[in-house]
Structure 1
C-alpha cells in the first residue's frame, strides 16, 4: 500500500504494526507507518517548519500528530510511542533540510526566497522558517554542519529500511537471534558482498575481533 492511501482508510480499519523488544517496528506494517510519518512530516499545518526544534513543537500539534497516527495504525501504543514520535521528528528534520537545499540558493536574495514558498507550506510558516535560517548565526551553523557531513568516511547502503526491521529479517534468514552490531555491519555491505569502502572494512574487522575477545572472556 502507498503511504498516501492510508489517509483514505475506512475509519473502522487500521494497519497492524509489530514491535520488537526495543519498542521499534519490525514488519511490513511498520515500514508503511514510517513512510506515512514521512508524508505527515511534510504537512505544514500538522508539523509546522516554523518551529525551531522538534522538542519545542507545540503540545496541540503533538496531540494532532498522535491522533492521526492512532486513527490509522494499531500497535502497543505505550511501548511504541517513543519510537514513533522520534521517527516523525527525524523525518521532519530531514524535510526541513531538504527544503533549505532546494530553495536557499546563494544567488537568491532573502526577499526572493520569501516570495516563492512551496505549495505544501503555509505562507506564514514559510516566512518564519526563512527568517530563522537566514539569520547570520544559523547560516554559520548550517555551513559547519555541511562541512561535518562532507567528512563522513563510512556511508551505509542500508536504504530506508530500519535496523529493527533489518534485524528481524536477518533472524528469520539465519534462524537465530542477531545482535545490534551484526545489523549495523550489514548496512556497510554492498550487494556483491564487499564493504562500501576501506574504512567500512576496518570497522567490520575490528568489530569481529572484539566479539571474539568477548566470547573468550565468557569461556
Structure 2
C-alpha cells in the first residue's frame, strides 16, 4: 500500500490508520524501535505528525513565492506529481482557506512573545532566576 502524498490529504487527522501503521512499520524496519512501549509510540506519532505539518508548510511557502495561482500550479516541486501539486494549489485558493489563513496571520501578529519554554512562560522563568 503506497503512502499518499501530503497534498492529497488536507490534515493529519484525515490520514487513515492503515497509512499511519504503514509509516510506523517503515520506521521500525529502518530503526530499532519498540513501539509497544507507550511513551515511545506517543513520541514517534508526535514526530510523524510534526514532520507532516513541516512538509506541508514547506510546500505552502513554495506556493506563496509565486506571483499567481496559475504560475504556482505550473511550478511543481520535483518530488511532487503535477496532479498532486494542482490539488495542493487549488486548496490554497479556496476562500475558506484564505479566510482562516488571514485570521491566523492576524493572531500571530498580535503575540508579544512568540513562544514559551515548556509550560513556563518567560516571566515565570525570569522570576525564578
Same fold (TM over 0.5): yes
The one of 101, 107, 117 aligned to 2:76: 117
Structure 2 counterpart SS, 1:130: helix
Change in Cα spacing, 1:61 to 1:83, as seen in structure 2 (3 Å) is same
After superposition, give the CA deviation of every residue in 1:27-75 in whole Å (9 maximum; x if it has no partner): xxxxxxxxxxxxxxxxxx5552221110111334223311210111223
- Which is richer in helix? 2
TM-score by length of 2: 0.77
Q: Could you say which structure has the larger radius of gyration?
A: 1
Tell me how far apart the structure 2 counterparts of residues 69 and 49 of structure 1 sit (CA, whole Å): 22
Quote the Cα distance in structure 2 between the aligned partners of 1:66 and 1:51.
Answer: 18
CA separation of 1:96/1:124 partners in 2, compared to 1, >3 Å: closer, same or farther? same
Counterpart check, 1:49 vs 2:7 = yes
Bigger mean CA offset, 112-121 vs 70-79: 70-79
Q: How many residues matched?
A: 125
Distance 1:122 1:64, change over 3 A: farther
C-alpha separation between the residues in 1 aligned to 2:48 and 2:79? 17
**For residue 112 of structure 2, what is the aligned residue in structure 1?**
153
Counterpart of 2:103 in 1: which secondary structure?
Answer: helix
Higher RCO (C-alpha under 8 Å, 6+ residues apart): 2
Q: Where does residue 43 of structure 2 map in the other structure?
A: 83
1:131 pairs with one of 82, 90, 94: 90
Q: What is the alpha-carbon root mean square deviation over aligned residues?
A: 2.7
Residues 117 and 126, structure 1, Cα contact 8 Å, conserved in 2: yes
Distance 2:111 2:30 in 1: 37
**TM-score, with length taken from structure 1:** 0.49
